[in-house]
Amino acid sequence: MSIWQTYFTPTSAEEVLRLLAEYGTEARIIAGGTDLLLELERGVRRASVLIDISRTPGLDGIALEGDRVRLGPLVTHNRLAASPIVAEHLFPLAQAAWSVGAPAIRNRGTLGGNLVTASPSGDTIPPLMALGATLVLRSVRGERRVPIQEFFEGNRQVNMAPDEMLVEVQVPAMRPGERGVFLKLGLRRALAVSVVNVAVVVRLEDQLVTRARIAMGSVAPTVLRACEAEGALVGSPLSSERIEEAADLAARAAIPIDDIRAGAEYRREMVRTLVRRALTILAEKRERDGFPAHPPFLWGRTGGKFPYVVGKTVRHTVGGDEPIECTVNGKNYVVRGANGKTLLRMLREDLGLTGTKEGCGEGVCGTCTVWLDGIVVVSCLVPAPRAHGAQIVTIEGLARGEKLHPLQQAFIDEGAVQCGYCTPGFIMSGAKLLEEIPSPDREQILHAIAGNLCRCTGYYKVVRAIERAAKSAIP
Ligand SMILES: Cc1cc2nc3c(=O)[nH]c(=O)nc-3n(C[C@H](O)[C@H](O)[C@H](O)COP(=O)(O)OP(=O)(O)OC[C@H]3O[C@@H](n4cnc5c(N)ncnc54)[C@H](O)[C@@H]3O)c2cc1C
Ligand code: FES
Ligand code: FES
């Protein structure tokens, strides 16, 4: 059984609003699908009608206008992390976006999706709260602006009606004298939900703090501001005594819970640690240290934007006869009967392309990695109707006739394959890395394969295979 019944691909924002008004509580917008598909699967949310905005024009801009930055809800985490405007004017947001998941998740997951899911651990929320963002919501009834503080009403609950769409996030650009940093504590370096995350923005004039904002996630049902801690900083220099006092007040403001990732007391202690560390980093002007200068995004030459859909709104119904028309490995397909499936299942069950594997089915193992319109994605989190009109490349499409892709050959030469289950995913990530950065360094390779897990060969041989392929000519 499918987790949705009808899937719309609208071609304009107006059409999205019209569909939301028509279907009301039955409908939900889907952007990257990296939260919604799992929530529908787990019964956390219900929707029989999905409205896919991931190719709708006009919702993916990043622009500096006067003293504010305007962000479209469709801007992906990788595009936030890559944007010079975001890096210069909203630096903690760039850091937060870069900390999300792994490349394939950052290529599909959007800012709007992160905000509307309203998870207490959502990584873009603390920086946007510390920066003082405003959300613009629109429906056929009109438009309203909601300060971010008033948007979150509870765990995964937001101040947004079923017929409304988030159409823009407006953020005051950081002024001269303002500094900000985002810190995240996860249980590993990639694909880690925040155990605690913290964003701090301070304004310093003549060495004195004239304004401070501290927002912390994963410590309450919604992201919290540490107002007393902020107050303790104002009017003083960022001295170690003031920093200690603010860290202590922030820890007291947290109301964390025990869960599988951490105990409440540990979380509270980590708030103290992260706030202290963040303020110390800002005092020492070290916030930009360690932010990768040329990271791989695994989007090749696309710039991370999926092509817009044109023409009329397309509707796919589960059990209906509307075909999914797409190009896979250069060959055109017209697929019927896959409207309720994921792209992964369509590739395997309907096209017989079984090189793409299912591991976790939740976006965390990377065995199902493919290229969607030239961008690395995990196909278990892409609804098959999203492939309508798209170009897909799978592991079967990498070889040129009898000649393997240099990375496939390098995997053989380096013995980087044991059971081979993870191999297609690693190769799809690695081949895109080589297209984007022909001679990657070790760190770039590790970033590129951060979303791919192997349970037998281990990673050294995989890394060596990518290094070896980089030395040979890419056709
Ligand atoms: C493996 C994995 C790792 C992850 N790691 C992280 C992480 O490290 N940090 C983190 O914060 N998150 C993480 N996430 C969660 C997720 O990727 C992000 O929250 C992402 O930003 C969601 O965006 P999306 O476009 O995929 O949202 P979707 O799943 O498409 O939508 C999410 C919700 O937002 C609504 N929505 C989307 N856009 C709009 C809009 N414009 N207007 C109104 N409603 C809208 C949808 O109806 C839905 O309810 C991870 C997810 C996975 C699967
Ligand atoms: S990431 Fe798709 S199956 Fe694991
Ligand atoms: S080779 Fe077996 S999981 Fe990687």
Domain extent listing, the chain: 6-52, 62-283, 318-471
| pLDDT for the residue 240 | 97
- Spell out which residues line ligand 2, taking CB within 6 angstroms: 358-361, 363-368, 378, 380
Nearest CA to ligand 1 atom 47: 29
Q: Within a 10 A sphere around the Cβ of 312, how many other Cβ atoms?
A: 10
Nearest ligand 3 atom to the CA of 418 is: 1
- Spell out which residues line ligand 1, taking CB within 6 angstroms: 28-36, 73, 100-101, 105, 108-110, 112-114, 116-117, 122-123, 165-166, 191, 193, 363-364
Nearest CA to ligand 1 atom 28: 33
Nearest CA to ligand 1 atom 48: 36
Amino acid letter, residue 8 = F
Ligand nearest to the CA of 358: 2
Q: What are phi and psi of 7, to 5 degrees?
A: -130, 115
Q: What are phi and psi of 19, to 5 degrees?
A: -65, -40
Is the domain defined by 318-471 classed in CATH 3.10.20.30? yes
Q: Within a 10 A sphere around the Cβ of 59, how many other Cβ atoms?
A: 23
Cα–ligand 1 centroid distance for 79 (angstroms): 15
pLDDT tens, the chain, 475 aa long: 699 999 999 999 999 999 999 999 999 999 999 999 999 999 999 999 999 999 999 999 999 999 999 999 999 999 999 999 999 999 999 999 999 999 999 999 999 999 999 999 999 999 999 999 999 999 999 999 999 999 999 999 999 999 999 999 999 999 999 999 999 999 888 888 899 999 999 999 999 999 999 999 999 999 999 999 999 999 999 999 999 999 999 999 999 888 888 889 999 999 999 999 999 999 999 999 999 999 999 999 999 999 999 889 999 999 999 999 999 999 999 999 999 999 999 999 999 999 999 999 999 999 999 999 999 999 999 999 999 999 999 999 999 999 999 999 999 999 999 999 999 999 999 999 999 999 999 999 999 999 999 999 789 999 999 999 999 865 4
Nearest ligand 2 atom to the CA of 361 is: 3
Nearest ligand 1 atom to the CA of 28 is: 47
| pLDDT for the residue 206 | 94
| pLDDT for the residue 251 | 97
Nearest ligand 1 atom to the CA of 362 is: 53
Amino acid letter, residue 136 = V
Ligand nearest to the CA of 457: 3
Ligand nearest to the CA of 383: 1
Cα–ligand 3 centroid distance for 247 (angstroms): 44
Question: Kindly report the CA angle at 267 between 265 and 272, in degrees rounded to 5?
Answer: 100
Nearest ligand 3 atom to the CA of 417 is: 1
3-state secondary structure of 63: strand
Q: How far apart are CA 447 and CA 464, in angstroms?
A: 14
Cα–ligand 1 centroid distance for 116 (angstroms): 8
Place of tokens 């930009």: 288
Cα–ligand 3 centroid distance for 412 (angstroms): 13
Instruction: Classify domain 62-283 at the CATH topology level.
Output: 3.30.465
| pLDDT for the residue 197 | 97
Cα–ligand 1 centroid distance for 348 (angstroms): 26
Q: How far apart are CA 129 and CA 299, in angstroms?
A: 29
Q: Within a 10 A sphere around the Cβ of 239, how many other Cβ atoms?
A: 14
Q: Within a 10 A sphere around the Cβ of 377, how many other Cβ atoms?
A: 29
Locate the DSSP E strands across 267-418.
Answer: 314-317, 324-328, 331-335, 369-372, 375-378, 391-393
| pLDDT for the residue 473 | 61
Cα–ligand 2 centroid distance for 463 (angstroms): 20
- Spell out which residues line ligand 3, taking CB within 6 angstroms: 417-423, 454-457
Cα–ligand 2 centroid distance for 384 (angstroms): 15
CATH annotation of 6-52: 3.30.43
Ligand nearest to the CA of 417: 3
By most ligand atoms within 8 Å of CB, the mutation choice from 454, 460, 461 for ligand 3 is 454
Ligand nearest to the CA of 421: 3
Q: How far apart are CA 329 and CA 351, in angstroms?
A: 11
Place of tokens 């994921």: 342
Nearest CA to ligand 2 atom 1: 363
Cα–ligand 2 centroid distance for 54 (angstroms): 20
Cα–ligand 3 centroid distance for 365 (angstroms): 11
Contact in structure between 391 and 307 (CB atoms under 8 Å):
no
Amino acid letter, residue 47 = A
Cα–ligand 2 centroid distance for 474 (angstroms): 27
| pLDDT for the residue 360 | 97
